[in-house]
Structure 1
Amino acid sequence: MEIRVLRYFLTVVQEGSITQAAKALHVTQPTLSRQLMELEGELGQQLFIRGSRRISLTEEGLLLRQRAEEILSLIDKTTTEFSAMDDASIRGEVRIGCGEGEPIRFIARTLTAMQRSYPFIQPHFYSGNAPDVLDKLDKGLTDFAVVFGPLDLTQYHYLRLPGIHRWGLLMRKDSPLSQKAVIEPQDLLSIPLIYSAQAWEHNEFSGWLGVPVEQLHIVAIYNLFYNASLLVQEGLGYATSFDNLAPTGPASPLCHRPFHPPLQAIPYLLWKKSHRFSKASRIFLEHIRKDLTAISLDT
Structure 2
Amino acid sequence: MELRVLKYFLAVAQEENLTRAAKTLLTLQSNLSRQLADLENELGKKLFKRGSRKITLTEEGLYLHKRAKEIIELAERTENELMAFDQITAGTVHIGAAESQVMRDLARVMMDVQTSYPLITFDIFSGSTIEVFEQLDRGLVDFAVLVAPVDLSKYDFIQLPVEETFGVIMREDSPLAAKTAIKSSDIKDIPVIVSKQQLDSSIFSSWLGDDIKMLNIVATFNLITSPAMMVESGMGVAFTFDHLVMTNTQSHLTFRPLSPAIKTNLYLVWKKSQVFTRAGELFLERVKLSLGKFGNFS
1:1-47 Cα deviation digits (max 9, x unpaired): 10001111111112222222111111122211111111111000011
CA displacement 1:25-84 (0-9 Å, x = unmatched): 111222111111111110000111122222221111111111111111111111111111
Distance 2:292 2:173 in 1: 44
Residue ranges of structure 2 left out of the alignment (5+ in a row)? none
Taking structure 2 as the reference length, the TM-score comes to 0.94
Distance 1:43 1:104 in 2: 42
The question of 1:83 aligning with 2:86 is answered: no
Deviation at 1:202, TM superposition (A): 3.1
For residues 272 and 243 of structure 2, what CA distance do their matches in structure 1 show? Answer: 32
Instruction: Give the whole-Å Cα distance in 2 for the aligned partners of 1:104 and 1:162.
Output: 13
Q: Which residue of 2 aligns with 1:271?
A: 270
With 14-23 and 238-247 compared, the bigger mean Cα shift is at 14-23
The one-letter code matched in structure 2 to 1:220 is A
Structure 1 portions without partners, runs of 5+? none
Question: How far does the alpha carbon of each residue in 1:223-246 deviate from its partner, in whole angstroms, 9 at most, with x for none?
Answer: 011011111112221111111111
Structure 2 letter corresponding to 1:24: T
Deviations 1:114-161 (A, max 9, x none): 112211111111110100001000111100000111111111111122
Aligned match of 1:42: 42
- Counterparts of 1:80 and 1:116, CA distance in 2: 22
SS in 2 for 1:245: coil
Helix, strand or coil at the partner of 1:100: coil
Distance of 2:294 and 2:38 partners within structure 1: 58
Q: Pairwise CA RMSD of aligned residues?
A: 1.6
Residues in 2 aligned to 1:214 and 1:51: alpha-carbon distance in whole angstroms = 48
Following the alignment from structure 2 to structure 1, what is the Cα–Cα distance between the partners of residues 55 and 213? 40
The answer (yes or no) to whether the contact 2:168–2:237 under 8 Å persists in 1 is yes
**Equivalent residue letter for 1:7:** K
Q: How does 1:167-178 map to 2 (within 5 A)?
A: 167-178=166-177
Secondary structure in 1 matching 2:166: strand
State the distance in 2 between where 1:215 and 1:30 align.
61
Structure 1 residues 119-128 or 214-223, which shifts more? 214-223
Q: Taking structure 1 as reference, are residues 2 and 146 closer, same or farther at Cα in structure 2, changes over 3 Å only?
A: same
**C-alpha separation in 2, matches of 1:237 and 1:22:** 50
CA contact (8 A) 1:110 1:287 kept: yes
Per the alignment, residue 249 of structure 1 pairs with 248
Contact 2:105 2:294 in 1 (8 A): no
Q: Which letter does structure 2 place at the counterpart of 1:228?
A: P
- Whole-angstrom CA distance in 2 between matches of 1:72 and 1:212: 47
Corresponding residue for residue 13 of structure 1: 13
Cα distance in 2 for residues equivalent to 1:203 and 1:57: 39
Whether the 8 Å contact between 1:129 and 1:197 is mirrored in structure 2 is no
Normalising by the residue count of structure 1, what TM-score does the alignment of the two structures yield?
0.94
Within 5 Å, which residues of 2 pair with 1:1-299?
1-87=1-87, 89-211=88-210, 213-293=212-292
SS in 1 for 2:161: coil
Q: Which moved more, 1:175-184 or 1:124-133?
A: 175-184
Cα distance, 1:270 vs. partner? 0.4
Aligned length: 295
